Amino acid sequence: MPRLERLRPDHAPALLEFERENRAYFAASIPDRGDDYFAYFDARHRALLAEQEDGVCHFHVLVAADGAVLGRVNVVDVADGAAELGYRIAESAAGRGLATAAVQEVCALTAGEYGLTTLWAVTTLDNAGSRTVLTRTGFVSAGTVELDGRPGLRFVRELGGGTAAPSAR
């Protein structure tokens, strides 16, 4: 079973491979990161680690037994007890419940270890998989948004007691 790990410097090579291998897959449902993301990956990775060290963000990778990154779950822009949740799972690992399990685990970390009270997330209307993950993990729809010109939904989860919602699997 893959394990969720807090982002570290040594994750960089596997994380870059994950992003490259899944770029087209991700771009079909979320905005593309752009060429600069890949060209300056090492600098960006160091910057993310600095943000994490400062407590502004909390980055996690879902790691397979062989060290390959299968996904990431991030809590960003921490302020006033709230933050945005974002996640992505490799195409080869999709549909196995990994996103749901990883989001549940991060919700528990966020409520307990990180001390937050609210998480929010956004997804495009055509991303049924993401909407399913959010609803299975206790998020509720909180209105519409626009994501790079595409219609989407905003979801919110109030965190209580440091426990994640049970899975609907």
Q: What is the CATH number of the domain that holds 134?
A: 3.40.630.30
Q: Is the separation of the CB atoms in 143 and 151 below 8 Å? A: no
63 within domain boundaries: yes
In a domain, 167, yes or no: no
Inter-residue contact 72 to 85 (CB < 8 Å): no
Average pLDDT over residues 59-68: 97
For residue 71, is it within any domain?
Answer: yes
Distance CA 23, CA 15 (A): 12
168 occurs within a structural domain: no
Q: Confirm whether 164 is domain-assigned.
A: no
pLDDT of residue 48: 97
CA distance 88 to 14: 15
Report yes or no on 163 lying in a domain. no
Q: Which residue has the higher pLDDT, 124 or 14?
A: 14
In a domain, 166, yes or no: no
Point out which residues pair with 29 in neighbouring strands. Answer: none
Look at the chain and report how many structural domains it folds into.
1
Instruction: Count CA atoms within 13 Å of residue 97 on its CB side.
Output: 6
* pTM for the full predicted model: 0.89
Q: What is the pLDDT of residues 107-148, one digit of tens each?
A: 999 999 999 999 999 999 988 999 999 999 999 999 999 988
75: containing domain: 3-158
